């Protein structure tokens, strides 16, 4: 089982807007929640409609806004019980002191208070009010009751208020609220992945990107690897419940959510970090890095000056990182990659044996539509076990989908061990 932690799969947010000047911020909140991939439906109290019209929220959410409890027409569409069941989260923002009091007492005399009692979804409130009303004993008493009842209270910010006062009571910014909601669902997904994901309980170390071998203080030898495959694999392994450490050569990619990243430049440094991580405990080692085969024998201390028509630079062989790790006593499950321009499968299968790997994924970089800088890839995977070698073809797909298929292949191979 795998859980894509970069997107929120089909989660429903029931956003309740109550009467307060911060209601205008909730219009932007709808946008931000939709940007994050949530389905959003909006409920408005009568007070809220004095500040912003339902039409605004209808246009932004793409659904009719729910305003009344006893409206036969509305109930014929999505009735209050259905709406309460639809929600994966009831977010009340802004939450007035009136709604806090209603929730605390268990009143059910309008749509929102009824939904509060009728939903099994977690309830979050973002109180926003005048600082004196926030500090009032009754408001604080009601908040304590709500916290005891399991409601999550998003604390208001301090600052200058619309009424001219300064103090606690401002609703946090929509971006901040949307971020908190997203983080909550990511965490929930992560907890499921850590229990049931294909790579739950595993520590995966991945090398990615090119290496950079210095010639002198300003020049280096490198290659065109972008690191995309390794980064996609890091995200897929994390989504499958693994703890992931990415050893990245110089690339311009964002670190996938939840993944620990160690930046390195040279092959020697990449090996050093790999060995350190192996000592700390590693279950799966995936080598996607395009490691420079050779490095400069003697790096010049100063910038090499232009002189004759020719310049000779002596190179010496770099260590083979994946092969070195495969020889260690604490040998993890070893996955290699092979990019070839001809005799692709033959060379890849040869590397599987020569480097003592458990699995190797190979692709044909002579094809312009896949590989290196492309977003798509097609691969053949070879597996080694004690007696024979098996093969699995992966269809041409995005690097994310290929990464997902590779996670499944690793899981299958590991479960046969
Ligand atoms: O021998 P070749 O470079 O084609 O092998 C590719 C595989 O070996 C990849 O998995 C790559 O990350 C790994 N490799 C390595 N250290 C090297 C060279 C390659 O880990 N010095």
Q: Where are the domains of the chain?
A: 12-187, 199-301+310-415
Q: Report how far residue 142's alpha carbon sits from residue 173's, in angstroms, rounded to the nearest whole number.
A: 24
Q: Report how far residue 256's alpha carbon sits from residue 236's, in angstroms, rounded to the nearest whole number.
A: 9
- Compare 348 and 12 and report the one with higher pLDDT: 12
Strand, coil or helix: 351: helix
pLDDT at 363: 85
Q: Report how far residue 178's alpha carbon sits from residue 180's, in angstroms, rounded to the nearest whole number.
A: 5
CA 322 – ligand 1 centroid, Å = 6
Q: Which residues line ligand 1 (CB under 6 A)?
A: 207, 267, 287-289, 291, 318, 320-322, 336-338, 351
Q: Tell me the average pLDDT across 278-300.
A: 97
Q: Are 267 and 317 in contact (CB under 8 A)?
A: no
Residues sharing a CB contact under 8 Å with residue 199, sequence separation 6 or more, in sequence order: 237, 240, 241, 242, 284, 407, 410, 411
Bridge partners for 167 per DSSP:
159
Q: Are 130 and 163 in contact (CB under 8 A)?
A: yes
Count of CB atoms within 10 A of residue 47's CB?
A: 15
CA 379 – ligand 1 centroid, Å = 16
Picking from 46, 180, 55, the residue whose alpha carbon sits closest to that of residue 102 is 46
Which ligand 1 atom sits nearest the alpha carbon of residue 325? Answer: 20
The CATH superfamily assigned to 199-301+310-415 is CoaB-like (3.40.50.10300)
Q: Are 356 and 380 in contact (CB under 8 A)?
A: no
CA 262 – ligand 1 centroid, Å = 19
Indicate whether 338 pLDDT > 60: yes
Indicate whether 372 pLDDT > 60: no
Which ligand 1 atom sits nearest the alpha carbon of residue 347? Answer: 4
| Total-model pTM | 0.82
Indicate whether 77 pLDDT > 80: no
Q: pLDDT category, 6, cuts 50, 70, 90?
A: low
| Per-residue H/E/C for 55-95 | HHHHHHHCCCCECCCCCHHHHHHHCHHHHHHHCCEEEEEEE
Q: pLDDT category, 356, cuts 50, 70, 90?
A: very high
Picking from 347, 356, 350, 363, the residue whose alpha carbon sits closest to that of residue 395 is 363
Q: Which residue's alpha carbon is at the smallest distance from atom 6 of ligand 1?
A: 338
Q: pLDDT category, 341, cuts 50, 70, 90?
A: confident
- The pLDDT tens digits for 241-259 are 999 999 999 999 999 999 9
Fill in the DSSP letter of residue 261.
E
pLDDT at 71: 80
Q: Tell me the average pLDDT across 114-127.
A: 98
* Residue 17: both structure tokens together: 């807007």
3-state helix, strand, coil in the chain (%, to 5): 35, 25, 40
| Strand pairing category for 294-296 and 315-317 | antiparallel
Picking from 12, 22, 72, 71, the residue whose alpha carbon sits closest to that of residue 42 is 12
- Compare 416 and 150 and report the one with higher pLDDT: 150
State the catalytic residue, choosing from 97, 105, 163, 362. 163
Identity of the highest mean pLDDT range in 313-317, 371-375, 380-384: 313-317
CA 277 – ligand 1 centroid, Å = 18
CA atoms within 13 A on the CB side of 219: 13
Please state, rounded to an integer, the average pLDDT across all residues of the chain. Answer: 93
Indicate whether 224 pLDDT > 80: yes
Q: Which residue's alpha carbon is at the smallest distance from atom 17 of ligand 1?
A: 320
Q: Which of 209, 251, 277, 289 to mutate to test the pocket of ligand 1 (most atoms within 8 A of CB)?
A: 289
Burial of 21 (0-12, 13-18, 19+ CB in 10 A): middle
pLDDT at 109: 94
Q: Tell me the average pLDDT across 312-316.
A: 97
Q: Tell me the average pLDDT across 183-211.
A: 95
CA 280 – ligand 1 centroid, Å = 22
What is the percent of the chain where pLDDT is above 70?
Answer: 95
- Compare 354 and 73 and report the one with higher pLDDT: 354
* Residue 169: both structure tokens together: 């009571």
Q: pLDDT category, 10, cuts 50, 70, 90?
A: confident
What's the first-to-final CA gap in the chain, in angstroms? Answer: 19
pLDDT at 187: 92
Q: Reply yes or no on whether 105 is catalytic.
A: no
pLDDT at 367: 72
Indicate whether 371 pLDDT > 70: no
Q: Which residue's alpha carbon is at the smallest distance from atom 9 of ligand 1?
A: 337
Strand order in the sheet with 333-340: 260-263, 243-248, 203-208, 284-287, 333-340, 359-364, 376-384, 389-398
pLDDT at 74: 76
- The pLDDT tens digits for 44-68 are 999 999 999 999 999 999 999 999 9
Indicate whether 3 pLDDT > 80: no
Q: Tell me the average pLDDT across 111-138.
A: 97
Q: Report how far residue 11's alpha carbon sits from residue 89's, in angstroms, rounded to the nearest whole number.
A: 8
Which ligand 1 atom sits nearest the alpha carbon of residue 338? Answer: 6
CATH C-level class of 12-187: alpha beta
Q: pLDDT category, 134, cuts 50, 70, 90?
A: very high
Indicate whether 234 pLDDT > 90: yes
Q: Which residue's alpha carbon is at the smallest distance from atom 4 of ligand 1?
A: 338
Picking from 87, 74, 110, 73, the residue whose alpha carbon sits closest to that of residue 40 is 87
Which ligand 1 atom sits nearest the alpha carbon of residue 337? Answer: 10
Bridge partners for 198 per DSSP:
none
pLDDT at 240: 96
């Amino acid at each position: 089982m795998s859980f894509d932690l970069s997107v929120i799969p089909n989660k429903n947010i029931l956003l309740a807007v109550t009467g307060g000047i911060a209601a205008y911020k909730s219009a932007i909140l709808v946008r931000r929640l939709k940007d994050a991939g949530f389905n959003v439906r909006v409920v408005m109290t009568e007070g809220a409609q004095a500040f912003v019209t339902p039409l605004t929220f209808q246009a932004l959410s793409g659904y009719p806004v729910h305003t009344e409890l006893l409206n036969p027409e509305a109930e014929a569409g999505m009735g209050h019980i259905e709406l309460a069941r639809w929600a994966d989260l009831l977010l009340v923002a802004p939450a007035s002191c009136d709604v806090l009091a209603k929730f605390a007492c268990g009143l059910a005399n309008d749509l929102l208070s009824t939904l509060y009692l009728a939903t099994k979804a977690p309830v979050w409130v973002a109180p926003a009010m005048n600082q004196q009303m926030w500090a009032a004993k009754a408001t604080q008493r009601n908040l304590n009751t709500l916290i005891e009842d399991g409601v999550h209270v998003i604390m208001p910010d301090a600052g200058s208020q619309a009424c001219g006062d300064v103090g606690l009571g401002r609703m946090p910014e929509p971006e901040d609220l949307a971020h908190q909601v997203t983080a909550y669902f990511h965490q929930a997904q992560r907890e499921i992945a850590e229990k049931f994901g294909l790579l739950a309980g595993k520590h995966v170390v991945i090398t990615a990107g090119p290496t950079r071998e210095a010639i002198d203080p300003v020049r280096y030898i490198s290659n065109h690897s972008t690191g995309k495959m390794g980064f996609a694999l890091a995200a897929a392994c994390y989504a499958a419940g693994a703890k992931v450490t990415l050893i990245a050569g110089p690339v311009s990619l964002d670190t996938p959510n939840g993944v620990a990243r160690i930046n390195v430049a040279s092959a020697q440094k990449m090996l050093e970090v790999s060995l350190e991580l192996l000592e700390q405990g590693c279950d799966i080692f995936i080598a996607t890095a395009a490691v420079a085969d050779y490095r400069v024998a003697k790096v010049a201390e100063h910038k090499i000056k232009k002189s004759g028509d020719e310049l000779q630079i002596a190179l010496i062989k770099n260590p083979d990182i994946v092969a070195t790790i495969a020889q260690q006593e604490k040998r993890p499950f070893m996955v290699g990659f092979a990019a070839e321009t001809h005799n692709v499968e033959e060379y890849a299968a040869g590397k599987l044996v020569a480097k003592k790997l458990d699995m190797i994924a190979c692709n044909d970089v002579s094809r312009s539509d896949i590989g290196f800088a492309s977003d798509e890839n097609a691969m053949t995977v070879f597996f080694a076990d004690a007696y024979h070698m098996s093969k699995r073809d992966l269809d041409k797909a995005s690097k994310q989908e290929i990464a997902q298929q590779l996670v499944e292949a690793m899981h299958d191979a590991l479960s046969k061990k």
